[in-house]
Amino acid sequence: MSFANTSMLQELMRLCRIGENGTMFTALTDGHQLRIGLLRGRIVHISSLTLRGLAALKTLPSRAPKSFRFQNGLAPEPHSDLPTTPAVLAFLSDGLQEASAPTAEHELPRANNLRLDSVALLILTEEFAEYIGPIAELLVKEAQKESQTAEGLLDRLSAQLESVEESATFVSRVRARLG
């Protein structure tokens, strides 16, 4: 058994999609616990045993959830080495367990290197419109009020998409164009 197609993974995806804050506590079948911290629907913390961040994430394909509960509130300390939320969810879902774990090194540079200028806004709007249509311009403007960086805006918009696959593709296409 793995994380793919479990109610725990489905609930984690739902919590990310609606932008929750808090911690998902998961009992694993190996007798240990896993903590996944969410901040505005983004996975910012993963810990199990003495492992944190990317190191903890890489152990998950060989482990399986037994039970879980989500506690609303503050997320635990963020780990800067985690890949994006869509990359983490894709890694945990449907058949990707055998694939190599995502790495922070394979991510494009984070917020400080993705400038939020008129070109970035145009690219974000064009790519977002591919998924939701002409209302994209309005939604990008609304999301921009709460995001000061291109990376923050990208995260906020990707969380509004229907599926993990759409979010991951959207993020990848925007980053390729902003590169």
Give the predicted TM-score (pTM) of the model.
0.56
Instruction: For residue 24, list its beta bridge partners.
Output: 36, 70
**What is the distance of C-alpha 159 from the center of its chain?**
8
Distance (Å, whole) CA 87 – CA 59: 15
pLDDT, tens digit (0-9, with 9 covering 90-100), for 49-74: 899 988 888 888 778 888 999 999 88
Other C-beta atoms closer than 10 Å to the C-beta of 140 total 21
Distance (Å, whole) CA 159 – CA 41: 7
Lowest mean pLDDT among 35-39, 82-86, 124-128: 82-86
Q: Does 96 have pLDDT greater than 50?
A: no
- pLDDT of 74 reads 83
| Percent with pLDDT over 90 in the chain | 25
- pLDDT of 114 reads 59
Q: Look at residues 104, 117, 134, 125 and name the one whose alpha carbon lies nearest to residue 173.
A: 125
Average pLDDT, the chain: 80
**What is the distance of C-alpha 14 from the center of its chain?**
11
